[in-house]
Amino acid sequence: MAFLSAVALLMGSTIWGLFSLQWIWIPILAFVSLVILHARCVRRLKQARQAEAYYRTSLDRLNDQWIDVRPTGEDYFDPQHMYAGDLDLLGRGSLFQLICSARTKLGEETLARWLLSPASTAEIKQRQQSVEELRHELDFREELELLEAESHSDIEQTHLAEWVQQPLTTIPSPLKWASMITGVFAALSVISWLLSYSGIAPICVAIIIQICLLFFIGPRIHELLNQTDEVRNGLSVLSDVLYLIEQRQFETPHLKAIVSALKTDGIPPSRSIAQLRRQIQGLNNCFRNQFSAPLSTLLGIPFHYVYAIQRWLVHVGPHCPEWLSAVGEFEALCSLAGYAYEHPHDPFPDVVDPEAGPRLEGTDLGHPLIPLNQVVRNDVTLNMENRLLMISGSNMSGKSTLMRTVGTNFVLAMTGAPVRATRLTVSPMQAGTAMRVQDSLQQGASLFYQSVARLSAVVHLADAPLPVLFLLDEILQGTNSHDRRIGAQSVIETLLERGSIGIVTTHDLALTEITAQFGEQAKNVHFEDQLVDGKMTFDYRMQPGIVEHSNALELMKMMGIVLKTETDQKQA
């Protein structure tokens, strides 16, 4: 309406002479005001919808409907990692997806790194203290998660750390001064032409000079443009995250140290990052905006943006890696804090020094990826007095799930997060697993070959100073019982001799005799099933001793496979 009024006033004053042209400022000002107000309303509406989605997602997570809600972390998965694949640390439905709430790639990468490598005792205790403080900062964490950001595939703040370490794109000083003088000359020529003091010739001269300068400097500017294209993505949300961190006051020494790392040269990092974003955007507009490009070229504005970016790299660039590291660590801690808040009954583990030997003693251990109302808990004790648990049992009875329960809670403990247990005491260790071993047609490797290769990697892991927590599912499957018994005993003996502790599962009851070789340091435990009214039921409770029966034949019968008795086979 304001726009139409301005058009009507313009036509009425210029064509019909009905109004004074001075009245046109009223609808113009009204139009500008309405545009600003509309933009503000749209922004608030977007924020409200984002908040609604955040609260709806949070409620879904509390109801264990968290899969596909947050990033999966697949980009950080390494198939050669010693336990990531076996323990479902990364990928869809993974521990990473359950925990991560980071708004930048920096936080995602830091959290993934923490999950994939155990921390020292001191680091774990620092993180636990920080998570305990942040778990109660609900408004702060909510504000952090509601920051407006592009899709995660576009958030690449990590490029900034790489870019500031690249060789600086420089422009010779004579060309720099020539562009500045020519820009001033062009501006004065345009003003003189508008005031009718001179003709258009000076402007043409300025355009020719600027084009010549661009001919010499253009390749370097385009090189800088290509570099900053990747850097620009995600700078906005990075600046917002930095601003939120800068405004907070924390009590925990570790959080104070993170905030202190952001205080350099008296200028807040959020302002420096926002400044870089404006400079990069301005440089892009000089060449990629059809409206501003001609005037920018005439006035030599691209050269000024290049110089500004160069100054930023010289004075601010060296601080960027430290800032980015601080942001990544802070966001990872906030992710752990959110997980801790959503699981108030999960305690922090007691992390002890490894000098007294490897130790993992858990009461009521449950798998964190299983809904709370479905999880079955078991006690597990592994230490220098009880170094090996040999688990036998029926198919689907819970042997592999128990090992993953132990391994996943160990990872949470080494990350600094709460664990799904009533109590857990653990010492820093390395984890080595062999669970989801498969043959490979592409590599021409059999199941047994892959099993041996994986076990070899676990054994070599025990050569390091840090003790190993080994979790071996169906050890050396794919070979005969005789070779399996000898090979399994050798592997276990080697691991125990090198100070490791762990769990081994097997269907082959002959392997349960191995525990006799280690005396009181090894125990046989089992899971079993019950056949009730033709249905197989499991309680998933670990019990002492060796399993006394198998459900393999019953499962085959339930699947409709007709089994021949020994008499039938002889008659055949």
Q: Is 360 helix (H, G, I), strand (E, B) or coil?
A: strand
Q: Is residue 55, in this structure, part of any structural domain at all?
A: no
Number of independent structural domains in the chain: 3
**Domain end (from 287, 315, 342):** 342
Q: Is residue 449, in this structure, part of any structural domain at all?
A: yes
Q: What is the mean pLDDT of residues 226-244?
A: 76
In which domain, by residue range, is 205 found?
A: 84-342
Q: How many CB atoms within 10 Å of residue 26?
A: 13
Q: Is 503 helix (H, G, I), strand (E, B) or coil?
A: strand
pLDDT at 73 over 50: yes
Query: At what angle are helices 301-315 and 269-288 packed, to 10 degrees?
Result: 150
pLDDT of residue 150: 47
Q: What CATH number corresponds to the domain at position 178?
A: 1.10.1420
Q: Do 406 and 545 belong together in one domain? A: yes
The number of residues in the chain equals 572
Q: Do 37 and 150 belong together in one domain? A: no
Q: Give residue 111's Cα distance to chain centre.
A: 5
pLDDT at 216 over 70: no
Q: Do 442 and 322 belong together in one domain? A: no
pLDDT of residue 333: 95
Query: At what angle are helices 320-342 and 235-247 packed, to 10 degrees?
Result: 70
Q: Which residue has the higher pLDDT, 276 or 225?
A: 276
Q: What CATH number corresponds to the domain at position 396?
A: 3.40.50.300
**pLDDT, tens only, 548-568:** 766 555 555 665 666 555 445
Q: Where are the alpha helices (DSSP H) in 369-474?
A: 399-415, 447-461
Q: Is residue 79, in this structure, part of any structural domain at all?
A: no
Q: Do 33 and 114 belong together in one domain? A: no
What span, in angstroms and rounded, lies between the C-alpha atoms of 235 and 272?
Answer: 11
pLDDT of residue 359: 93
pLDDT of residue 437: 65
| Beta strand spans in 396-533 (E) | 423-426, 430-434, 468-472, 501-506, 522-527, 529-532
Cα distance between the two ends of the chain: 95
The two structure tokens encoding residue 83: 């336990």
Q: Which CA distances in Å does 331 have to 144, 536, 545?
A: 9, 46, 46
Q: Is residue 368, in this structure, part of any structural domain at all?
A: yes
What span, in angstroms and rounded, lies between the C-alpha atoms of 317 and 264?
Answer: 12
Q: Is residue 67, in this structure, part of any structural domain at all?
A: no
Q: How many CB atoms within 10 Å of residue 222?
A: 12
Q: Do 334 and 371 belong together in one domain? A: no
Q: Do 182 and 315 belong together in one domain? A: yes
Q: Is residue 242, in this structure, part of any structural domain at all?
A: yes
The two structure tokens encoding residue 132: 């305990």
Q: What is the mean pLDDT of residues 458-484?
A: 84
Single-letter residue type at 12: G
Q: Is 374 helix (H, G, I), strand (E, B) or coil?
A: coil
Q: Which residue has the higher pLDDT, 9 or 5?
A: 5
Q: Do 141 and 14 belong together in one domain? A: no
531 bridge partner residues: 536
**Domain end (from 342, 364, 396):** 342
Q: Do 185 and 106 belong together in one domain? A: yes
Q: Is 356 helix (H, G, I), strand (E, B) or coil?
A: helix
**pLDDT, tens only, 505-520:** 887 777 888 888 888 8
The two structure tokens encoding residue 21: 């042209």
Q: Is 273 helix (H, G, I), strand (E, B) or coil?
A: helix
pLDDT at 203 over 80: no
**pLDDT, tens only, 78-116:** 988 999 999 999 999 899 999 998 878 888 999 999 999
Q: Is 39 helix (H, G, I), strand (E, B) or coil?
A: helix
Q: Judge contact between 89 and 116, C-beta under 8 A.
A: yes
Q: Do 471 and 333 belong together in one domain? A: no
Query: At what angle are helices 25-62 and 2-14 packed, to 10 degrees?
Result: 170
Q: Is residue 335, in this structure, part of any structural domain at all?
A: yes
Pairing state between β 501-506 and 430-434: unpaired
The two structure tokens encoding residue 118: 């155990």
Q: Do 335 and 357 belong together in one domain? A: no
Q: Do 327 and 370 belong together in one domain? A: no
Q: Which residue has the higher pLDDT, 98 or 145?
A: 98
Q: Do 170 and 269 belong together in one domain? A: yes
Q: Is residue 72, in this structure, part of any structural domain at all?
A: no
Q: Which CA distances in Å does 11 have to 2, 4, 5, 32, 327?
A: 14, 11, 10, 20, 57
What span, in angstroms and rounded, lies between the C-alpha atoms of 507 and 530?
Answer: 17
